[in-house]
Structure formats: structure tokens, C-alpha cells
A and B are shown apart, each in its own frame.
Chain A
Amino acid sequence: MFGLKPDAALELPENYYVLDDYEKGIARWCDGCGDHAVLASVQKLCREEQLDPVKTVFVSGIGCSSRFPHYMNTYGFHGLHGRAFPVACGIKHRRPDLDVFVITGDGDCCSIGAGAWIHAIRYNVNLTVMLFNNEIYGLTKKQQSPTSRIGTVSNTTPRGSILPPLDPMQVTLGVANASFVAQTADWNPAHMHATIKAAHAHKGFSFVHILQRCPIFQPELVNELTSNRDNICYLKDDNGITVSEDIEKTFKHSAPHDPSDINGARQLAASEEKIYLGLFYQGKNKENYDDYGAHNLGVTVEEKTAMLNAEFDKYGI
């Protein structure tokens, strides 16, 4: 319309939040741990999106990464091992107005919580999920995790692990109704931030697999990952994760990939050649289970009782 700007109906929130508003306590992760980078990135995302701290929830399971909710000055639930997803799905079902983030680790998600994980993907509830994968159990001082590489020497595998690792990307891409699957690395904070931001913007189960460093228990792995730039390949697409030109230059290799191509995504995930960073797959307009869970919100207890009684009355003799 003449003289009217496109962003005309601009609703300004009551408050303006700064980084301090999202920070709580001192993060008790080891110095050099990748978790710090994710925390900083998520706090920045909250500030950028001006998320209301009282309308934001971080749900985690058990593990180093799962201490995350303690350091966010929002609501949080640090609860049951492997059960971050059911709790988060429950919250989102009954409180669709909340922004729900799930923080989980390789043990929490891929081992004890694998069952819940698979179904959460299929439910496609509107959550932002971050899987911190450091390929080791750090909190309990170095035991092998399902994602540990063959030969990983740990307290439970003193002669090196023997089973091939589980790939969270392949699993997620293999489950029906997957809607957003991305991979990033904590040592490229710009790319990680762009990825988490895109995940947050997506409606549905946005799964971000974060390759995360544990410099204490996996120092060699960290060294290899961060120094060998030949292994990493940046997925480039206008609909994918886009970073500034300067950041793009930090990648030695880049490859085109259309995020709507699920078969291509599965091939990338299965590829042993390189680790691809970027958006593997995004499917829009997929079914969201929480859309169905929210239909009778706002019904009071009295009303529910009355409804039940009315229903029972049908069977009265």
C-alpha cells in the first residue's frame, strides 16, 4: 500500500533482553570444552530473537552437556537419563506457547534414550534439539559411548572399542517424518550459530548434531578434528546454512547440496570420506504431533468433569 512499509504491523515486546538476562552462574565445564561454545551461541540466539526467558524452556537428560539448563537463566528441566525427549514433547503439547529446546549428549540420546529419540523424530514436535556428540562419556570419566570410534581406548574398553559407531545423522535421516537434520561443529562458532538459528526458525523437530570436543578425555580426536581441514566439507546452498564469506573461507572444501533431497542427505551421512557440515535435510509442511495435542487447551477442570460425566451418562441405565 502507498506510504506503508512492509513491516507495518510491528509488535514490540514489553522488554528488551541482553546477554546477561540469559546467563546464570559459572559454567562448570572443563576449560576448552566445546560446550562453552554452544552455550555462548545459544545465549546469543536468545538475545537475537529476544526470547522471553519466562517463555523459554531447556530440557536435558544426563551427562556433561545436560548440565546446560543450569547455565541458562530461563526455565529448565535437568531430569531423567535418556528421557529429555518425552519431557520436552509433554511440555510442548500442553504449552505450545513456550519455546522448547532439548539438550542431549551421545550417551543420553543414542544409548539409553534411543527409543525416545526415534519416536520424538517421528512425532515431529516443534522442538529445537541439540545433540552434543563428543564420542565419549565425560561426566563419568571416560567410558565408551555408542558413537565412539573403533579402537577408542576407555575405562570400559581398555584394549580399544570393537563395535562400529552409531551415526546419529544416519539414524535421524532414516526415521519417518524427519523434518530438519543438520550437522555442525562447535569449533566453528559462526557456522554453529547459523545452524542453531535455522533450527530454531524451523517448525518441527529440528535436529542439530554438534560435533563437540572433549579435550580432556579425547585429546587426540580433538586435535585430529580441528587441525585436519581436509576431512571437513561445508555444504553450500541458498536454502541451507549460509555463513559470511570470511567464514566460508575457513573451510577448505565445500560441496553443493539441496536440503530438500533426502536421498542425497542420506548418502552424505553415510559417506566415510568426509564430515559434512550444514543442513542435510529440511522438509516443510510435515505433520506436527503437537498440533493435535493442543486442541483442547484452556478447558477447566470443572468443564472436563462435566464432559466426562456427560459421556458416562450415555451409558446410564
Chain B
Amino acid sequence: MSDTTNIGSFFIEDAPEIQKVIGTEDVPLISSDFTSDITVPVLREVEPADEVEMKKAWKSIRSFFRNGNSKKSIKNSTPLLSLPYQSDAFTASDYPIWISDVVGDESCCRSLQELLTEAVSEATGGVESSILKNNIARIVKTVDESLAKSGEVTTFYSCILAALDDLAKRLSIPGDDGKKFDKHLKRLRKVIPTHGILVPYNSNAGFQIFGAMLQQETGRRSQQLSDKILKLKCKLQGQLAIDHEKEEQDPKELESTLSFASELLDFEKVSKVLPDAGAVQMSASRKKRLEDTIAKLEIADKLLKNKAFVFIGDDQKTPESPDWKLLLGDVNIKSFKKGAGYTTIKKAFEQEIEQWTLVIVGIQIAELELAGRYMEDVHDEYFESLTWRDFSEDEITSCPPFVLIASEEYIADSEMGEFSKILSKGIPIRSLVLKNDIEDAYKSNGVETESNFSYHQELGAFVISHRNAFVCQSTAIKPLVLYNELKNGLTVASPGAFFLLSSIRKKPVDSYMWVSAAVSGREYPGFTFSGNMNSHWGSRFNIDNNFQAENVWPIEEVIAQKGKEDETITAHFTYADFATFLPKYTSFFQDVEQCYWNENLLELAQYLKLDKEEAVGKVPFIWMADEKLHLKKVAVAWPLVLKCRERQDFWRFLQESSGVNNYHVKNAIAKAEESLGVIAAEKMEALKAEHQVELQAAVDEAAGQAMDNLSAVLLDMDAGTFVPGSGSSAPGKAIEKPAASEESDTPEVPTEADSPAISMAAEAYIDTALCTSCNECTNLNGSLFNYNDDKMAFIADINAGTFEELVEAAELCPVGIIHPGDPVNNNEPGLDALIERAKKFN
């Protein structure tokens, strides 16, 4: 076939010319409707440029590297590792999440996916595969879409019911499957919780989680405390009441209490005859103490009304700021003026804690009194001078938490000193420190200032330096982790600071993606530090809430298509990859055309490892992909390299503190290895020799045993029986794997010998997994035999047919998987002959 007769080929060659003729330039010649979408990044095959051109191009690349003056936009490209998540398709994050609004739920924050998976498995009775189970993702997606439409928090139950109805309607499954599906749906509706809210991912998700945690924790605590106080109060009142009873009583009064029988008894006389009860009344001071204590405990009723105190700065009153009242619910919200945050909250704390001191003292006295261990000479003085500093951790955390909410910039600029004072004094005040992408630090102002490349202030590290505080730096990307981190922060008596990054972006990169990239690129690494004097320094750190916490930069392998072959590319996600999302850095990236790629172009993560001398002449790049999924190497300018180094440095600080690649540990290991190496080598030799001896013994023994077994089998062989996959393997094999053959061979011999002794009635069964769906048995008796969901036969109802039918089916079955067992009905005619026929299949 010559080229000219191939219509297709000459169409393509002449396409531009032809399009001129037909004048439909907008219409693409090849419709994309039929061609499958490319999902794999493509590495094009390009010839390198010639030497002269290469030199020229590299001159300009180096100039860009020094100055960061790129004019070319990388707007339509995306870092390679974030490529799979750029589509508008359903994103598999933990969102939406379900948050309980009833105090006392065991797990009050769960991902919808997880909650549904559990509920579905309960509703379907834990079967491996069901239509409902296969469609959980679909339910989550429906909910996700409906949440995205409103963009707000929704009541869980109504939303999920709507999604389930939608699912049933959309799938409209016919037949038996449909009935089963309906049954499962009905049960699911009963199993899922009827309360709680659904939270989609948005800029407020983190605050929502904080609010929910605050509600749950304070609610639970105040519940426990009020229960405890009520009990103590009742007991104390009981004691007082007993004492009151012991007071001398007027016989007249007694008489009045027994109105109907008063005439039968002379109380005056009786009281004289009866012996004195001999009761000793409590001392006046004790009585007063008990009464005082009850009064103290009663203060709690009033105090418990305030679950938590939250102080919000004036700077949080902008239109972009979240509606804190709505997010935090039933807590005491107060505001403060600029610069006066910590003084205001400290004052309020001191006032409140004074009241609480009375309550706590009341509880302590009451407990001592009830245990009969109160000693006036010791305790009177002790309780007089008691302040909240003497409280135990439990006691402090049972008081309502004080939280100050402010932005990172606000604290750094206006209240650094006061912040530090609170931390160093150990006052249990928590700060929720917000950072978001609309802050100046991320704003695109078009003008590069030097401050862009200064070190980050890292308020988190600043708090760590106070040693006794709880710090967590986190995001709402992993809601359950965040919930627990915040909860841990609230259940310690030390001051706390929670740093939370959020984003309100929509385009071109959505907020989830942006925050995720900020964590992955080590711009905002997650960590917790729990200050506690009694623990090791290293044990206070936790950096698990990061992407590949063990690596300096996250690293992943991506398979790209190069011509017909697959090529594996190892790519890192560095700070520079994250920086591609920040408009202000645009001029620091420049796409290097593929014909100019050479050995001087080094991946940024590799470049950062180089010495000064090694780095001379090299230019770092990051992998990116454009809209057509073509891979690009994008050069990164020197100022941004500096920034990457700075981020790497902070990340290494966190890593080393948590024991990853720790300098001292490495040295210690090297030393230990050196000294232990000699000993270990000797030990190894000894063990090897020992092992060799044992191995030989085992082989000899197994070979002997295998021969014994074989002879036993041969002598005792029953030609008719066959056990699939039986261990009657060749002796040669047995010697190779002594342990396996012992296991499979030995039990078989005794069973054959023992079998006559067992006289249990064998049940009929089918090896369903081996059924070939040939209809033989189901055509014989459709009630006795039936197909399962996979169209494979099983015995549906043993009483729906005769033993004769069972035997007949076993004979008909082309793959011999029907085992008739013993007859169920012993009155069937001709049983003896049937049993004889059935023998072959049992």
C-alpha cells in the first residue's frame, strides 16, 4: 500500500492547507471524543541542540539563575508530584468529616468514608462484597458535591439520607440484587448516627474542628466535675443531717410526727426509759467547715456555666475572618484591643481561677472529711495558703480553658513580650495562632523585597524555647490528627500554643492543595512538642504528621512515557515546588527547553546537597508538567535556592530533635558499629557453623520420615480417595522442604486409618468456587440447587429434594464438585443402592 492511497496520512500532512480551504480553523482535525485521555506524563524525545546554540542558551540560563529575572510564565505548569491531584475529579481526602454535636460520643470526629465503611459493614453483615460496599465512594461523592454547592456545614442525617435516596434512584438495580440492595439500604439508615454535622474542607475546617474539640472536651469535663461535686455535696449534707439528728429532741416534736398513734404512747415516759443514744456531736469548727465547704462547692454551679473563655483580637473582625460565635458554639467569647491581648486574658484568668480555687479547695476538704482524714492542725494552714499553682494537672484542666485567638503576625508584631511572659510563667493559657495565605507574607506585590528571603520567624520554635509549653503546628488536612493534637494540648496543665495554617484560595490552586503543598514542601511542617520537665528532650517532639518525615524532601517515583517505553523519574517535592504556587516568585522560575538539557542541569534536591565547589556551573531545576502533561525541567533562580536552604535548615532542626538523622546518634552508631563489628563477626561465624550442623540433622531426619510416610501411604493406599492438593508429594520434594512435608504428610496417614471409627452423618456440599455454571444441577432441581451472586451453584435447601436427586446431580456434574454426603431422610426408597452410588463422590 503506497502512501498516496492511505487517505489518513495525506490528510494529516496537508491538514493546515486543507483547513485553509474549508475555513474551519477552530474545529480540531482530530476530535478528542474517541481518543482515550492521556493520564501518564510524557517525556518527549528531542534531539539536543548543537554546540553553538547550546552555549548561547546556557549563557542566558546562567544569567537567569543569578538574577532570577525570568520573563516566561510557568502559569500553566504544575509540579510533577502534585500532578495527579490537579484534576477536578473527586479527590480522596478525609473530607467531608462528621463531627458529633452530642457530648459523650466515643469518637467525635471521623471521616465520612470511614464512618460509612463501618456502618455499611454492619448493615450488610460484614459480607466481603456488596453493591452498597462498592458504592461507598459514590455516596461520599454525592455528599461532597452537595456540600460543595452550599459550601457550608450541614446536618449529617438529612444530608446522608438525601444521598442514599439519590443512590437508590440512580442505580435502580433490578431483580434479586435490587431487593437485597434495598434491604441493606434500609438497615444502613438505621445504623448510621442521627446526630452530628458534616464539615467540608474549607478555610474554616480547622477552626470547626477546634470548636468541636472545645465543646466536647469542656462539656465532658464540666459534666464529670458537676457529677463529682454533686456527690460530695450530698455526702457532706448527709453528714450534717446525721449530726442534726443527734441533737437532743423534744418528745413533743416526736409526738407530732406520729399523729395517728400519738395517743397510744406516752413519749415523755418512753424518752426517759430508753437509754441515751450516746452520740457525740461534731465540733462546732468541723460543722462550720462542712457548711463552708458546701458553700464553696455551690459556687461551682455558677462557674460551670462558663465552659471556656475565648479572647479574640480586634484584628479578627475583618470580613474575611470566620464567624467565631458560630464555630465555637456555647463558649464565653470576649474581645480585646490591639496590644492588650495577653494582659486582658491574664487578668480574666486570675479572676476566674480565684473563684475556682475556692471550688477546688472545697473538693479537697470534702474528700478529706469524707475519708475522715482531715487534721485541723495540718490542713487548716495548708488550705489557707493554697493557690492554683498547687493544683494537680487534673484539677487545673478541670477548670475552663482560656484561649486567645490571634494571627501569627499580630503576636509577632504586638505581643511577643507578653506572649513570652505567659509561657515562661507557666500560666495555662492557650493561644490559637492563625496563619493564612492572605497575610502579607504570601501576598503578591510584584516587587521583590529583601524580606522575602529572610529567615522565617518560626513562632513555634520560639515557644519550644520556653520548654514547658505544649506546641503544635498543624493544618486541617488530616482532621483526625488535628483533633487529637488539639485535645492533647487541652488536657495538659502547661501553657499551649496551637499554630494553624489555613488558606482561602480558590484558583488556580485550591486551598486544600495549597496547604498540602505547604506541608509537603516543608514551608509549614507539622510538629508537636509537649513540654514536660520529667521527660527526655527528644521524646517531646513528634513530626509524624508530615509527608515522608524521614526524608529531607519528600521523594516519589513517577512513571512517564517516553515514546513506547516507560521511564521512571524520581522526583522530589521541595520548597521550590511549593513556591510555584506563589505568584510573587514567578520570576524565579524558567522553563529550560528540552534541547538544552545537559548534565549541568541538576535536580534541586541534588543541587542542595552539593558543596560550594561542586555546585559551580550547575543550575538546579524542578520537574514540572504542562497542560498536555509534557514533562519540563524548570530552572530555579539563586535567591529561591537560598530560601530552600533556609526551609531545609528548619526542617532538619525538627528532624534532628525528633531523632531522624540526628548528628549525635549517627556518631554514636558509627562508634558502636566499629567496636561491635569484631565481636559480631566472631559470633556470626560460630552461629553459622551451629546452623550448618542443625540443618544437616533436620534434613536427615526429614528424609527418613518422608520415606516412612511414603511406605505407610503405599501400604495403606485407598485408590478411590483423592484429596486435592494433598501432601502425598514425592519424597524428593520432602527432602527439600523438611518442615512443610512433615506438616502435610503426617496428619494424612492417621486420618485414613481413623476414618472408619468416625460415624458422624456427613453433610452434602458443593465446592462452589469450582462450579462451572453449567446448569446441570439447577435444571435437575432448582430449589435444591441454586446459583449465588457469582452464578456459582450451592445447596440452597437440602430438604427441597431427594437423596436420589443429589446423587444424580453428583453423577451429572461435569466437574464432580457435588458431594451428596449421607441421606437426610432415612425412609427414602432404595437408599442402599443410592448410598453405594454416592460413595464415589463423598
Q: A interface vs B, CB < 8 Å? A: 1-12, 14-16, 18-21, 27, 31-34, 36-37, 39-40, 43-44, 95-97, 186-190, 213, 215, 222, 226-227, 246-250, 285, 292-299, 302-303, 306-307, 309-311
Q: Taking A2-B547, A43-B791, A306-B18 as given, write out 7 further A-B residue pairs in contact, using a Cβ cutoff of 8 Å, ordered by the A residue number.
A: A1-B547, A2-B477, A2-B519, A8-B92, A32-B812, A40-B791, A189-B792
Contacts A/B (CB < 8 Å), 10 sampled: A1-B513, A3-B477, A9-B85, A18-B131, A18-B175, A31-B779, A34-B814, A189-B769, A306-B22, A307-B22
Contact B772 A8 (CB under 8 A): no
A43 neighbours in B (Cβ, 8 Å) = 791
| Given A34-B774, A310-B14; A44-B477 close (CB under 8 Å) | no
Q: Which residues of A contact B754 (CB under 8 A)?
A: none
Contact B814 A215 (CB under 8 A): yes
Contact A7 B34 (CB under 8 A): no
The answer to whether A20 touches B816 (Cβ under 8 A) is: no
CB-contacts of B564-621 with A (<8 A): 564-566, 573
Assuming the contacts A16-B131, A16-B138, A18-B173, asked whether A295 and B770 have C-beta atoms less than 8 A apart, the reply is: no
Residue pair A4, B89 in contact (C-beta under 8 Å): no
Question: Is B35 touching A294 in the complex (CB atoms < 8 A)?
Answer: yes
Question: Which residue in chain B gives the minimum CB-CB distance to A20?
Answer: B175
Residues of A close to B566: CB separation below 8 A = 285
Closest to A306 in B: B22
Q: Complex Cα distance A310/B10, Å?
A: 11
Min CB distance A72 to B, Å, is 13
- How near does chain A come to B527, taking the closest CB pair, in angstroms? 13
Q: Are A4 and B815 in contact (CB under 8 A)?
A: no
Whose C-beta in chain B lies nearest to the C-beta of A95? B34
Cβ of B93: which chain A residues have Cβ within 8 Å of it?
3-5, 8
Chain B residues with CB under 8 A of A8: 84-85, 89, 91-93
Considering the chains assembled together, what is the distance between the CA atoms of A32 and B178 in angstroms?
A: 29
How close is B125's CB to chain A, nearest CB, in angstroms? 19
Closest chain A residue to B9 by CB distance?
A295
**9 closest pairs, A vs B, by CB?**
A298-B31, A249-B725, A3-B477, A37-B772, A40-B773, A2-B547, A5-B92, A306-B22, A40-B791
What is the CB-to-nearest-CB distance from B679 to chain A, in angstroms, rounded to a whole number?
40
Chain B: minimal CB distance from A196 (Å): 14
Binary contact readout B754-788 vs A (1 if CB under 8 angstroms, 0 otherwise): 00000000000000011111111001000000000
How far is B208's CA from A108's CA once the two chains are assembled, in angstroms?
Answer: 67
User: What's the minimum C-beta distance from A127 to chain B, rounded to whole angstroms?
Assistant: 15
Whole-angstrom CA separation of A307 from B35 in the bound complex: 22
Complex contact A16–B134 (CB within 8 A):
yes
Residues in chain B near residue A311, CB distance under 8 A? 10, 14, 18
Complex: chain B residue closest to A34, CB-CB: B772
Is B90 an interface residue, CB under 8 A from the partner?
A: yes
Specify which chain A residues have a CB less than 8 angstroms from the CB of B14 in the assembled complex: 307, 310-311
Query: Are B769 and A10 closer than 8 Å at their CB atoms?
Result: no
Q: Kindly state whether residue B33 has any CB partner on chain A within 8 Å.
A: yes
Is B87 in contact with chain A by the CB < 8 A criterion?
yes
Residue B517 interfacial (CB < 8 Å): yes
Which residues of chain B in 402-435 are interfacial with respect to chain A, using CB atoms and an 8 Å cutoff?
none
Tell me which of A18, A190, A248, A310 has the highest count of chain B C-beta atoms within 10 A of its own C-beta. Answer: A18
Cross-chain contact B91 with A9 (CB below 8 angstroms):
yes
Residue A222 contacts which of B17, B92, B779, B814 (CB distance < 8 angstroms)?
B814
A12 with B141: in contact, given A1-B516, A4-B516, A296-B12 (CB under 8 Å)?
yes
Taking CB atoms, residues of chain A closer than 8 Å to B22 are: 302-303, 306-307, 310
Whether B34 pairs with A33 at a CB distance below 8 angstroms is: no
A-side contacts of B82, CB under 8 Å:
1
Flag if A189 contacts B773 (CB, 8 Å).
yes
Selected contact of B770 from candidates A5, A39, A190, CB within 8 Å: A190
- The interface residues of chain B lying within 8 Å CB-to-CB of A247 are 769
Other-chain contact of A2, B32, B178, B520, B773 (Cβ < 8 Å): B520
* A4-B92 contact given A15-B170, A296-B8, A303-B24, CB 8 Å threshold: yes
**B-side contacts of A285, CB under 8 Å:** 564-566
- In the complex, what's the smallest C-beta–C-beta distance from B176 to chain A, in angstroms? 8
Is the CB–CB distance between B174 and A1 below 8 Å? no
**A residues within 8 A CB of B475?**
3
Residues in chain B near residue A5, CB distance under 8 A: 92-93
CB of A186 to closest CB in B, whole Å: 6
User: Shortest distance in angstroms between A209's beta carbon and chain B's nearest beta carbon?
Assistant: 17
Q: Which residues of B contact A27 (CB under 8 A)?
A: 775
A4-B814 contact, Cβ under 8 Å, with A96-B35, A307-B14: no
> If the complex has contacts A36-B773, A296-B29, are A310 and B21 also in contact, measured as CB distance less than 8 A?
yes
Residue of B nearest to A193 (CB): B790
Rounded to whole Å, the gap between the CB of B564 and the closest CB of chain A is 5
Partner of B36, one of A3, A9, A10, A96: A96
* CB nearest neighbor in B for A247: B769
Q: A12-B90, A16-B135 are in contact. Are A97 and B34 (CB under 8 A)?
A: yes
